[in-house]
Structure 1
Amino acid sequence: MDMERKVYFSPSVLSYHREFGSPEHRRLVSSAMKGNLRGKLLEKYYSLSINKKIVFSFIVAFSVLLALLALLTYKISSSILIQKAVENTEQNLRLVSEKLDLILDNAENYSKIVITDNTVQDVLSKPLTDDPLINYQRYIAVQDSLKGIADTKTFINAVIIYDRLGRIYDSGSLEGVEDVSRAYFDKFAGSAYGLEWADTSASNYWQGTSKYDVIKLFQKFNSDRVGQTLGLVELTIMESYIADQYRNIDIGKNGSIFIVNKRGLISSNTDKRELYKSVADQPYFFWVTAHEGGEQFRDASGRELLVVSRYFPRLDWTIVGTVPIREIMKDNDILTQRFLALGIVFVLTGVILSFVIATSITKPLNKIKATVKNVQEGNLDVWLDLKSRDEIGALAREFNKMVDRTKTLMSSMVEEQKRKREFELAALQAQINPHFLYNTLESICALADLKRNADIVAVVNRLASFYRGVLSKGNAIIPMEDEIHITRTYLEILKVRYGAQLDYSFDIEMNVYRCQTVKLLLQPIVENSVYHGLKNKRGKGLISVRAALDGEILKIVVEDNGVGMKPETLEGIFKPLLDQGRQRSFGLKSTDERIKLYFGMEYGLSVSSEYGAGTTVTVKLPAIRMQEGTE
């Protein structure tokens, strides 16, 4: 525990632990510093005027609301833009897929034209002759037929026929044709009909000095007459022709469409540098091969992408479209910037509006404060003229009532002073103790600053209730029930001022309430306990009021746990005072004399006290019950 205190409160130890201390000590130091900062910020906030607090609160509220609204708007609009991009890209990929299907369908149809061509069927059905010229003429006839078929469609790059005897026929302009038929003859063996598409690869022939990237269609064909296998037709389509189908499709300035096979190799791309490159290491690869639709990914370079895929089963391809997220969000960023600019205008408007509202609230409060100060200085000829019907207006009306009642009460006291002896004059004057009134009004001002309107109304009502009890319709003798009510109200008002430092309790027997007592019997005793016993005490103060009948005697005990009295002070309580001033007129001696005045010399007060421990005041009264109609 000692070490913890040093960590929190000793600057030298803080410095030591910051540099050399354990992680636990550093954590405690950090916590202490944060606590200090939080405390300073709260202290700064509490020191602000209500006007500044309202303006500050409006700024914070508007700023937080704007930030949340901007974030929410950005999230929603981003989601909409991304979904729209997914739908557009899906539509484009569907268009690419349909174009590919059309190309492949046409290629398969032209393959059927090749294998059903009369010249092809006739020549490949006949065996070779011994005459080379006839064989050459037949070869040229097939070549011309293939060339005629290939020339009718631009998407067909070449047509090649491999017969069962190993002879190769092509559509012309081909050199170094590599015989790849054996693998397909074996693959199609045993089937009457065989057709297969091969993935993008380099051509198995030369055109001039180059080989081209092509996709290939292989189809076995038979004799129309005898049904025997005649050969294998190979029809090739340039990969560049496939890429041309989506070259001009716009999915964004930096967006791209490409085709990838199941091994992760790019089978088609408008950028030929990317052809045959692997994307298997990209985070999105396994997703696109297993799903269709759109998803967000961060590629191997860290760039955020929207990836949309569509499966093309005829070649076991996946058509992929990628669009950078930043490009999709470009318009959204502009919208957000404009929204924030507009939001700043709203915040500034809100600040001006909050200043106007704050002024409308604090102006009447300042007026109340100035009026209360006048009352505190002794001027009761004041009147708060506020037209509002809100809590502040209610406070002003209650304040006016309180001041009016105070003036009435003071006038009543002056009238009573003319008819009663000097002692009663002093007692009644003390009923309106300016010190108590001013402290109560200061408490009301403090509550007004804190905007605790409900507490203000409660205090004003209690103060009014207290003075109603004090007036008691001019009666000097009142029931104990009224006296307890006056005392309790007085303590409730003090409770507002002293808060948790003051507590009290009442233990009153029911048969006591209808007994007679002199007005303001207990309040001076309680006041004496508070201001001379508890005010200078450290810790929580407690006042206990107990009342019970002992035969024909009413015994009341007021006990506190205050600082108590020294023996010499206790001995001088009931001795004659040289100066019965206003501040002492409601002291214990004055109360004792009033009791003796009304009920006889055998009644009155007795006091016991232990210095440093508390004081007990015992009141002895005759148990006289109030008569009906005397209240």
Structure 2
Amino acid sequence: MSMLLRRFQLMWHTYRKMLLLYLLVLLLPAGCLLYYYFEKSADILERQVTQSMLKSVQQVKINLDYRLAKVQEISDALILNTDLYEILARDPQSGTRFSQVEEEKKLGNMLRSLQGSDILKIKLYVNADKMYAGEHVNFFSLDQAARMPWYDEVVGRNGAVQWIPTHMERYISTPSEARVFSSARIIRDPNAYSRIIGILMLDVAEANLAAILNQAELDVHSHNMYVADATGMIVSHGQPEKLNHPLLPPETFKLIADQPFGIEKIMMDTQTYFVIFDTLSEGGWKVVSLLPAGQISRMSNQFNVGFSLVLALSLALLFIVGAFLVFAHLTRGTINRVRDITEQLRVRGAAMIEEGIPHPSGVVIRLEKSVTHMLSTFQHLMEDNYRAKEREKEARLRALQAQINPHFLYNALDTINWMALTKGAHDISRMLNMLAQYFRLTLNKGKDIVPLEDEMNLSKAYLEIQKQRFHNFDYTIKFPGLLSGRSIPKLSIQPIIENAIMHGVHNREGHHGSISVEAEAEGQTFVIRVTDDGIGMTEEQIAQLYASLNASSSPSSYGLYNVWERVRLFTGGAGRLVIESQPGRGTTVSIWFPAEENGRNE
């Protein structure tokens, strides 16, 4: 022990100046780096966290828009039902009481068939003289609606949807009150437009929105996500007691009221907050994350502690490296001896081995063997890790494949089909057959490129399903047999047909029209045309649609944009998409495919 102490003292006296200089050169820059880092890291983390939360808010906005759009679709489906107008406009004094019973039965079946997980209750306010106006389950009196606080706003919308913020409702079928928000619109007599014959209201459980908000929270205990209406009142939140209270002071809410989305830093109750928001497409409501700046500061402090630890370890590593360099300097003589031995071995060869090596030392040899063993072990570990990841990928792929079992789907649909036939429900059986065909053609064994015949059959199945749903259009599908085997991207036609139904036929006066899908050869190329006799488009609208197809983000017609992108990639840029339309005379969307050798194979 005393010998080792004397050696250490000797080394210290010999190299202390070099070691002190080394520590000074190392610690001074490290201290400056730490000071600069602590000054800048908070701002950087604030930007990163707020931008991340903005993306979360935008994702929540997408999810909520989808939910509200589903409610809007159900409301539109009811409003487009001509039977609804005929029954509501009928004079209650003109028929018998039995005819009103029949009315109630028909309307009740219509409303209850659309209630479900998204729609908690569908209510219809009707003429007070109708016998079923006091039913108080699905039917209520218009006189009762006139006394509601939302009545003037709904009437002022003149038939458009008015979103009513969260309120409490008690239903006869449930013992306790439910928190709901509602979609409401008036129904006018088509023969006397100034006469209001009903109000359609769809109640949606506020818990549906709160569940989406809770999934996007920064942590499970924060409850920073809100939905607020245009006046700043809280519509949905993870804590029900905050509903129908102002989210922000009125003057503060004005900062975000006219902006579609963004990030604002505010002071409220002597605390600093980040208001991160986006605007829903329905009702002008806003998704807001009210993030306390102190929460980010705590995260920054935690991160700084971790960084300081890493820096300390790095400094220790640098010190060890420096010590190693000192050690290398001290052992330079040994290294020179090894070089001498190597040189003598090179010059004298085996004779040197036979004579023996002067000043034998096994330290360098053991070090080399240790490094070699370490590298070999590291290589084996990397190979084992790679194989483990490959096995994990294969297991995940098998799990995903097991989640979708087409045979199970077809067998289940076939069972339901036989049940429907047993009950005499032939219309349901027809829908199930078309749905099974649609699923089979859509899955298509996982292929993305399909023959034209399969794509046309898929379009026929989709049109038949939509026709059974809406009953407001006729259709034709024609294509020559010589084009049956031509390859096209799967689902190239269905989105165009969907646009024709939703934006063309449904918006046409009378809500009835026709759709044709045709394919024909033109030399070596062929063209697919989807034509409707709907409301058509102006030249400005067509120009905006073309511009949307060339947009790099957020296209206005996502379905058509998706079709065009896949056709463009499939044809290597040689395909064409042409839109022809005139207001009131319908629309034709044509897709040109080049000769077979120019297209891309599967």
Range class of TM-score, shorter chain: 0.3 to 0.5
Q: Which of 1 and 2 has greater Rg?
A: 1
